[in-house]
Amino acid sequence: MLKYYLLFTCIILVLQPMDAQFVANYDESKVPEFDLPDPLTTFSKKQIQTSSSWNELRRPELISFFESQVFGKVPGTLDALTFEVIEGSNSALGGLAKRRQVKVTITKNSKTLSFLMLLYLPKKIDRAPLFLGYNFHGNHTVNKDPDIIISKAWSLNNESMGINNHTLTEESRGMRSSRWAITKMIEAGYGLATIYYGEIDPDKNDFTDGLHSLFYTEGQKRPAKDEWGGIGAWAWALSRAMDYLANDMEVDKSGVIVFGHSRLGKAALWAGAMDERFAGVISNDSGCGGAALSKRKFGETVAQINNNFPYWFSENFKKYNNAEENLAVDQHELLALIAPRPLYVASAQEDEWADPKGEFLSAYYATPVYSLFGKTGIPSNEMPNVNSPIQNTVAYHIRTGKHDVTEYDWEQYIKWAVEQFD
Ligand code: GTR
C-alpha cells in the first residue's frame, strides 16, 4: 500500500510543475507583479530625452535585442530579387479597381523562392496608398474574383474552408472575404496588397523548407540559436514586398501600412519595427509575441507559444519560458520601435488568449516614445469601453466578439488611416 502511495505521490510531483506551466491564467488578480522595462532608459541606464538619442542609442539596442533574443536575426543578404507582373486588369471588382498579380523571386546561394502578391488599387487614383498584409489560406480566399491565382504552396488544413491534404483549391475561393473589406478600402482611396504567407515559409515545424533553407551554409539543417524562426521569415518577406511597392508607379510608397492578424500580426509588428519604409502598422489580435505584454503571463504565455509553435521565434526565446522576468524588454518596446509612425493595436473582447488588456497596456506604455516625437499616443491606462476606439497616432480598440478580423475592425482602420495620412 505504502509503495503505491509513494509511487502516486511521485507521479503527482513530476506532473505538477509541468501542468502549472501550461495552464493559462485568465484571472486578473493572479497577474504577477512585474517590472516593466522603461523604453526611455538604455540597457546601460542612460536616460533618453530626445528623439535623436532615441534613434541613435535606444532604438538600435532594442532592435538588436529583439533580433537576437526574440524573433531571430536574418542570416545574410540576398543575391538577387526580381519582380514580374504576371497578370492584371484595369477593370476588376465590378470596375472599381485595378488588379495586379506580381511574382516576387528571391535568389540566395543559387536557390530561389517565389511568392505572388495580389494587388487591388483604386481605379480613380494614380498613386494609391495601401494596406499590405498576409492572408492565412491563399490570395484566392480574400475575394470571389475568379482571376485570382490559386497558390500551390502547402497550407494548414481547414475543414470549414474545404482545405484538405494541405492543398488549396477552388473550393475556398472568396471564403475569407469577410476578413478583407476591399470595397471599403477602395472607396476610401486605399489599395490592398496581400500575400499568402505559406509561400514564404510553410507554417509547420520543419526548417528544411521555405525561406530559411535558402540561407543555409553547406550541411546546415536549421537556423542558429539567434537566427530567425517563422515569424522572422514572414516579417522579412514583407520588406521584400515593400521593395516592389516602393518602385511601383501606381503605388504611393509613402502610404504603405502593414497589417496582420494574429500570428501574422506578430509578423506585421516586427516588419514595421525593423523597416521604417512602412508608413504605419496595424496589429489585429496579435497577442503573445505580438502586441501583448509577456510579463503579465495572462492567456498565452512565452512557454505555451514556444511549446505549441517551437519554430516561430528564435531558439534563444525559449530561455524565457516561465522566466519572463529575465526578459530585458517587453512587447511595448516592440511597439515603441514603430514610433513616430502611426500604430493601431486592436483586440477582441472574447479573445482572452491574446490578452486584450496586455495589448492595450502595451500601447499605453509605448506612448512616452511617441511623446518624444510630439505625437499623441494612448493618454490613460484605463481601458476604453468595447467598441469605443481611441484614435491618435497610436490607436486602440477592443470590439465585441471573438478572435477574427471583421468589417468593424476595417471600418476603424480605414477611418484612422485616412485621418493620419491626410
Ligand atoms: C494561436 C496562437 C496565437 C495566435 C493564433 C493565430 O494558436 O497561440 O499566438 O497566433 O494561433 O495565429 O490565429
Contact 123, 95 (CB under 8 A): yes
Burial of 7 (0-12, 13-18, 19+ CB in 10 A): exposed
Does 395 score more than 60 pLDDT?
Answer: yes
Q: In a mutational test of the pocket of ligand 1, which residue from 70, 261, 262 has the highest number of ligand atoms less than 8 Å from its CB?
A: 262
d(CA 127, CA 149): 24
Helix (H, G, I), strand (E, B) or coil at 256: strand
Q: How far apart are the CA of 368 and the centre of ligand 1, in A?
A: 29
Q: What DSSP element (H or E) covers 230?
A: helix 230-245
Q: How far apart are the CA of 373 and the centre of ligand 1, in A?
A: 33
Q: What is the mean pLDDT of residues 143-172?
A: 97
Residue 173's identity, in one-letter code, is R
Query: In the prediction, which pLDDT does 15 show?
Result: 43
From residue 232, how far is each of 201, 210, 225, 229, 402 by CA, in Å?
A: 10, 12, 13, 5, 26
Of all protein residues, whose CA lies closest to atom 13 belonging to ligand 1? 262
Pocket of ligand 1 (CB under 6 A): 262-263, 287-288, 300, 305, 308
Q: Which of 11, 104, 19, 26 is nearest to 358 (CA)?
A: 26
Does 190 score more than 60 pLDDT?
Answer: yes
Q: For residue range 281-310, what is the model confidence (pLDDT) as tens digits? A: 999 999 999 999 999 999 999 999 999 999
Q: Which of 340, 375, 378 is nearest to 359 (CA)?
A: 378
105 CB-near residues (< 8 Å, 6+ apart): 80, 81, 82, 83, 84, 112, 113, 114
Contact 121, 97 (CB under 8 A): yes
Q: For residue range 356-378, what is the model confidence (pLDDT) as tens digits? A: 999 999 999 999 999 999 999 99
Does 4 score more than 70 pLDDT?
Answer: no
All structural domains of the chain: 52-421 (3.40.50.1820)
Q: What is the mean pLDDT of residues 350-359?
A: 98
Query: In the prediction, which pLDDT does 422 show?
Result: 80
Does 22 score more than 80 pLDDT?
Answer: no
Query: In the prediction, which pLDDT does 189 show?
Result: 98
Query: Cell digits for 350?
Result: 472574447
Query: In the prediction, which pLDDT does 63 show?
Result: 98
Burial of 235 (0-12, 13-18, 19+ CB in 10 A): buried
Query: In the prediction, which pLDDT does 287 show?
Result: 98
Residue 95's identity, in one-letter code, is G
Contact 246, 253 (CB under 8 A): yes
Q: For residue range 53-107, what is the model confidence (pLDDT) as tens digits? A: 999 999 999 999 999 999 999 999 999 999 999 999 999 999 999 999 999 999 9
Residue 308's identity, in one-letter code, is N
Query: In the prediction, which pLDDT does 278 show?
Result: 98
d(CA 187, CA 202): 34
CB atoms closer than 10 angstroms to residue 6: 10
Q: In a mutational test of the pocket of ligand 1, which residue from 22, 353, 355 has the highest number of ligand atoms less than 8 Å from its CB?
A: 353
d(CA 49, CA 383): 27
Contact 193, 117 (CB under 8 A): yes
Q: Which of 75, 390, 403 is nearest to 225 (CA)?
A: 75
Which residue blocks in 58-106 are alpha helix, DSSP H? 59-65
Q: What is the mean pLDDT of residues 33-44?
A: 97
Q: Give the number of C-alpha atoms closer than 13 A to the C-alpha of residue 205, restricted to the C-beta side.
A: 7
Q: How far apart are the CA of 248 and the centre of ligand 1, in A?
A: 33
Contact 200, 264 (CB under 8 A): no
Owner of C-alpha cell 524565457: 320
Q: What is the mean pLDDT of residues 243-248?
A: 98
Mean pLDDT estimate for the chain: 95
Q: For residue range 268-281, what is the model confidence (pLDDT) as tens digits? A: 999 999 999 999 99
Of ligand 1's listed atoms, the one at least distance from the Cα of 308 is: 8
Does 6 score more than 60 pLDDT?
Answer: no
Q: How far apart are the CA of 353 and the centre of ligand 1, in A?
A: 9
- Per-residue confidence at 1, pLDDT binned at 50, 70, 90? very low
At residue 378, φ and ψ (nearest 5 deg) are -100, 115
Q: What is the mean pLDDT of residues 250-279?
A: 98
CB atoms closer than 10 angstroms to residue 279: 20
What share of the chain has pLDDT > 70, as a percent? 95
Higher-confidence position of 188 and 8: 188
- Per-residue confidence at 3, pLDDT binned at 50, 70, 90? low
Residues designated catalytic: 262, 403
CB atoms closer than 10 angstroms to residue 183: 15
CA 155 to the chain's CA centroid: 18
d(CA 212, CA 233): 7
- Per-residue confidence at 20, pLDDT binned at 50, 70, 90? low
Of all protein residues, whose CA lies closest to atom 8 belonging to ligand 1? 305
Query: In the prediction, which pLDDT does 21 show?
Result: 59
Q: For residue range 220-240, what is the model confidence (pLDDT) as tens digits? A: 999 999 999 999 999 999 999
Alpha-carbon radius of gyration of the chain: 22
Does 7 score more than 80 pLDDT?
Answer: no
